[in-house]
Structure 1
């Protein structure tokens, strides 16, 4: 990259950083009542202006709950939910693109240790990990928007998954904001709105345990010793190494008898794994992240007798088992 090419990116990064710092310092001045009064003069343009403000606030690390509650108070539970969800998705998408094309180094410093967890999660599970992070807020929402831009997930998958999986939270906070306004106006239905919103928030609170169980059951593991026994016993078995060809023939080598189908080809080469319906398909990679992702792809396509080698070739070699190498 030349100096002239870098200047616009640096200028945009500086602008975003300065605006984010301003919003952080003046966070207490973000008053929904002021926003409501200002938007009331916008007429039919108020929804579009609100979405734009919400999106900008997301990019600048403004608290999303303030906007979500304000949207419910100003636009009601249905339109407010749609506007909140749209604004949050647009803002999350802009942050994603800024990180991917402009501010990668800054995001790496800001994210710290969380970034590796995100990178590993996306490498292993793709869009499923984005859904998990959206449904279970283990990472700060505004920062995760930027951090996802440094992963390999396609933009469309990221944006679509975010829109769908942010819906429950957007609905709950919007209804809560609507209930608050109704209560202030003396509307008896406010209690019903509030209970509905609190019930949905309670359901979201139980999602970590539920998703944790589902994630734990998604992959069936096999340890190197058991795989070695299966290979020696002539059980119906197909060992599939999902690394690239260079890794397959590289220093770690591969398990004798394994076939090489890289992860990005698993879907299109699924038919090569069909045959004996009783055969076990054992998936292998360097550790076990890519093989776990391949297992989920195959399970989604209808193959059930799929196993993932725990620890991959690193563990296989660590235990002293024979590996074929490109000598």
Structure 2
């Protein structure tokens, strides 16, 4: 009964057509378009990162998801900066916390932007927020690229591992050693812990910077 259930699940996964993409250039471009549309609607980007690894493989999937995230970030940033900037200024005047964050971004620039990027804030929300601030686009671009490398590597690797696990269950492709699977999972765990540690350090630095700027000299 258990084996039959596993076979049924695997069969459905293999025949799933919810995002019917191949692995070529056209598919990569289409995938980027899907991610950009999802980010406009603030749909979490994590599942797409995993899917990129599952479908395109590690290095190609990493390149595709990095491209998709950067294009999405530019789109969100541009929309908020050129369409909703006046609303953002009103928001800053109404809420001191928003104003202090904007002041920190203007004064600290790239350094503070990278710290904010490392904090656990939804990707699309952060993109819109940066667009409403006074942060230059050049600083936004660098901060975004630097901050998405580790999460993208981790989630792409997770997608590759899921694909390898599916192949193992169906006896497809070359056999995978149990030690290889263990090493992969340990690597993923280590990358996750590193990302979490970076986020905690970034949040601490953000608070320290904010307190420093709020304290009268």
TM surpasses 0.5: yes
Show CA shifts across 1:102-132 (max 9, x none): 1335667999967445313312311112211
Deviates more, 1:110-119 or 1:183-192: 110-119
C-alpha separation in 2, matches of 1:144 and 1:168:
17
Q: Does 1:93 align with 2:74?
A: yes
Query: CA contact under 8 A between 2:116 and 2:202: conserved in structure 1?
Result: no
CA separation of 1:57/1:217 partners in 2, compared to 1, >3 Å: closer, same or farther? closer
1:63-212 residue pairs with structure 2 within 5 A?
63-104=44-85, 115-116=98-99, 118-137=101-120, 139-186=121-168, 187-188=176-177, 189-211=180-202
- The alpha carbon displacement at 1:51 in A equals 1.7
C-alpha separation in 2, matches of 1:34 and 1:117:
47
The structure whose Rg is larger is 1
- Report the 3-state secondary structure (helix = DSSP H, G, I; strand = E; otherwise coil) of the residue aligned with 1:61: coil
4+ residue segments displaced more than 3 Å: 33-36, 104-118, 187-191, 208-218, 287-290
Question: Which residue matches 2:7?
Answer: none
Structure 2 residue runs without a partner (length 5+) = 1-15, 169-175
Question: Which residue matches 1:50?
Answer: 31
Question: Which residue matches 1:311?
Answer: 216
1:233-312 residue pairs with structure 2 within 5 A?
289=213, 310-312=215-217
- Report the 3-state secondary structure (helix = DSSP H, G, I; strand = E; otherwise coil) of the residue aligned with 1:134: helix
Query: CA contact under 8 A between 1:52 and 1:87: conserved in structure 2?
Result: yes
CA separation of 1:39/1:108 partners in 2, compared to 1, >3 Å: closer, same or farther? farther
Structure 1 residue runs without a partner (length 5+) = 1-32, 219-286, 291-309, 313-327
Query: CA contact under 8 A between 1:168 and 1:204: conserved in structure 2?
Result: yes
TM-score by length of 2: 0.74
Which structure shows the bigger proportion of residues in helix conformation?
Answer: 2
C-alpha separation in 2, matches of 1:192 and 1:121:
42
C-alpha separation in 2, matches of 1:46 and 1:175:
20
- The alpha carbon displacement at 1:216 in A equals 8.4
Q: CA RMSD in A?
A: 3.1
Deviates more, 1:68-77 or 1:106-115: 106-115
- The alpha carbon displacement at 1:204 in A equals 1.0
Query: CA contact under 8 A between 2:117 and 2:126: conserved in structure 1?
Result: no
Q: Which protein, 1 or 2, shows the higher relative CO under an 8 Å CA cutoff with sep ≥ 6?
A: 2
C-alpha separation in 2, matches of 1:215 and 1:147:
15
